[in-house]
Amino acid sequence: MLDNLTHHRTIYVNPDYNDVAEFMETLPERFEAGEGEVIYKGRNEIRLMKWGEHNLVVKSFTKPYIINRIAYGILRGSKAKRSYLNALSFLSIGVGSPQPVAYMDVRDGILLDKSYYVSLMSPCPYVYEDLFSTQAEHCEAVCREIGRITAILHNNGFAHKDYGRRNILFKIQEDGKAYLEIVDLNRMTIGKIGFRDGCQNFERLPATPQMQRWMAEEYAAGRGFDADECYKLIVDFRKKDKGTEEI
């Protein structure tokens, strides 16, 4: 806690990427100068930035509301820190996420002002929603892998709170199997994930009944659940959320 109170900037760099330390020292100034390619801009901003041989994805989290500025500045980890730590946890249990490189917290006194999370650029060229257009032929492989990976996450006590169409990246390997990477890791439920809660975690993924069946089969196999019951719950939770979409 003393470190949080006395330092204007807290920077942590993954030991595997110590060559990025100099980049991190000037990251806020680089953002202010407009360096890098903007790939998303909303409440938060994501840029692709180059440093040496590294293609870096930098997510800048906007200034939190006042209560969270106090909490994140003194008591809790920032969204950037949580993203970094969750990425390490995912990788440790065999779930893909872009390689975590570093994070920075910037404070104004004891209040968190902004934070930055840095990862390597993902090797996955597609996102889940591409299954509805250019990547439809790979639908079964991706859906089954989503079911399998989600089971691993839930068995290890992780449930992504924004498990949606833009946060699951994929590529198809030479053997025809799908490789996934999960992003946007700052919001996570951590703890025991039960049967109903686990099935509800699929609710933000638009899918046809067949896609949901593939996910349910792999998810149930990974958790020792009944596939038909999983399928019914996944369908019901999705309908309550936004309805079913087709490719």
From first to last of its 247 residues, the chain has per-residue pLDDT tens of 344 444 588 899 999 999 999 999 999 999 999 999 999 999 899 999 999 999 999 999 987 555 555 555 455 678 999 999 999 999 999 999 999 999 999 887 778 788 999 999 999 999 999 999 999 999 999 999 999 999 999 999 999 999 999 999 999 999 999 999 999 999 999 999 999 999 999 999 999 999 999 999 999 999 999 999 999 999 999 998 765 454 4
Q: Are 95 and 179 in contact (CB under 8 A)?
A: no
Domain 126-241 -> CATH class = mainly alpha
Question: Cα-flanking dihedrals φ and ψ of residue 6, to 5°?
Answer: -110, -10
Answer whether 2-120 and 126-241 agree in fold.
no
Q: What is the pTM of this model?
A: 0.90
pLDDT of residue 111: 80
pLDDT of residue 108: 76
pLDDT of residue 220: 98
Helix spans in the chain (H): 2-6, 21-25, 27-32, 66-70, 79-92, 139-155, 195-200, 209-223, 227-241
pLDDT of residue 64: 55
Distance CA 190, CA 201 (A): 13
Assigned CATH for 2-120? 3.30.200
Question: Hey, where are the domains in the chain?
Answer: 2-120, 126-241
